[in-house]
């Protein structure tokens, strides 16, 4: 494995910011050798992807003989943010996933994302691993822009995730990594799983199987080993229900896992510590799979509590 710097910048006081890439490649490269890029840490408070890339890197080290394509690993895009618990790019407070495609002439966050996009360019497939934020826990899921779904949906199904969410095109999301790379011809998938500032090991292992499964089917690894490929729910055939807090207070979960729930199940309560009163009890508006659940207890009116994917016929 070969480690290179894809971007570096001398910081003002005796330090260099570097963004690193690790590459595994086959002994012999053919014209049709495929390349996959795995990216994480665009948001400095999201660490699950770092663990997945660790697992993948470690698997590839143990199984070098199987490598028949190019695997590029970019575990820490917002390196400065990760080491300082900062979601955006420090000082500028910029969300790197709203700064693409960037350019060489751009400010530092824009230069950085530009360097990443230029380096990933030419990959057949890219996977951008996110872990929600510090507020919400997500079951392993793939987010897909409808515009690109004909090419990305078949790949998403191989990733051993629980849910595939196909969303409409939104102009503001054109500044994301996935949109930029899809436009440049790399089939790019966004994974959301777990919660910010945490490693959810079971999810990490689940996604590892999915990535290996996808790589095997794309001929990037050649092995007899079988990898798990669970059947995901897909938002093509149902609706997403949002539950937002109606009041400010402390959110206390009544369910602790993202799981299958029935309409009317209690998701949690919004309580007031001082008076000991319950402001609101939150019920599931639909049966289905609860794929997002609030982890961070302090809420305002409007704070997202949960998202449920329900079958359309249960809508009433």
What is the binding site for other proteins (CB under 8 A)? 9-14, 87-88, 91-93, 98, 105, 107-108, 111, 133, 135, 171-175, 242, 244, 247-250, 298-304
Q: Smallest gap, in angstroms, from Cβ of residue 135 to Zn ion?
A: 12
Strand runs labelled E in 77-160: 125-130, 136-145
114 interacts with Zn ion by CB under 5 A: no
* Closer residue to Zn ion, CB minimum distance, 176 or 286: 176
43 interacts with Zn ion by CB under 5 A: yes
* Closer residue to other proteins, CB minimum distance, 91 or 259: 91
187 interacts with Zn ion by CB under 5 A: no
Q: Smallest gap, in angstroms, from Cβ of residue 282 to other proteins?
A: 14
Strands of 298-299's sheet in order across: 277-283, 266-272, 249-253, 298-299
Q: Smallest gap, in angstroms, from Cβ of residue 193 to Zn ion?
A: 11
* Token pair for 104: 């060489």
d(CA 235, CA 121): 29
Binding region for Zn ion (CB under 5 A) out of 37-45, 69-77, 159-167, 215-223: 37-45
* Closer residue to other proteins, CB minimum distance, 79 or 250: 250
* Closer residue to other proteins, CB minimum distance, 134 or 166: 134
d(CA 260, CA 199): 23
* Closer residue to other proteins, CB minimum distance, 86 or 217: 86
For 96, residues 6+ apart whose C-beta sits below 8 A from its C-beta are 42, 43, 77, 78, 81, 88, 89, 109, 112, 113
d(CA 127, CA 170): 20
Residues in the chain: 316
């Amino acid at each position: 494995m070969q480690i290179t710097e894809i971007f570096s910048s001398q910081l003002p006081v005796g330090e260099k910011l570097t963004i690193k890439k690790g590459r595994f490649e086959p002994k012999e490269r053919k014209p049709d050798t495929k390349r996959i890029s795995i990216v994480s840490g665009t948001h400095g408070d999201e660490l699950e992807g770092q663990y997945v890339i660790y697992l993948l890197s470690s698997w590839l080290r143990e199984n070098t003989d199987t490598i028949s394509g190019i695997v590029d690993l970019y575990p820490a895009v917002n390196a400065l943010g990760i080491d300082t618990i900062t979601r955006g790019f420090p000082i500028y407070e910029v969300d790197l996933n709203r700064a693409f495609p960037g350019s060489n002439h751009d400010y530092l966050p824009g230069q950085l994302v530009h360097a990443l996009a230029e380096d990933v360019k030419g990959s057949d497939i890219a996977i951008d691993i996110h872990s929600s934020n510090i507020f919400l826990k997500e079951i392993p899921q793939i987010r897909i822009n409808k515009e690109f779904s004909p090419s990305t949906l078949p790949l998403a199904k191989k990733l051993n995730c629980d849910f595939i969410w196909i969303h409409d095109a939104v102009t503001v999301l054109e500044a994301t990594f996935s949109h930029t790379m899809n436009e440049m011809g790399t089939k790019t998938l966004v994974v959301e799983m777990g919660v910010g500032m945490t490693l959810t090991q079971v999810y990490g292992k689940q996604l590892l199987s999915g990535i290996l499964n996808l790589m095997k089917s794309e001929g990037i690894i050649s092995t007899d080993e079988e990898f798990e490929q669970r059947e995901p729910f897909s938002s093509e055939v149902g609706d997403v229900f949002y539950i937002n807090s109606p009041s400010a207070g402390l959110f206390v979960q009544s369910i602790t896992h993202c799981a299958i729930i029935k309409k009317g199940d209690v998701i949690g309560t919004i309580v007031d510590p001082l008076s000991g009163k319950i402001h609101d009890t939150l019920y599931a508006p639909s049966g289905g799979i609860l794929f997002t659940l609030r982890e961070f207890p302090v809420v305002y009116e409007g704070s997202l509590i949960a998202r449920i994917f329900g079958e359309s016929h249960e809508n009433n």
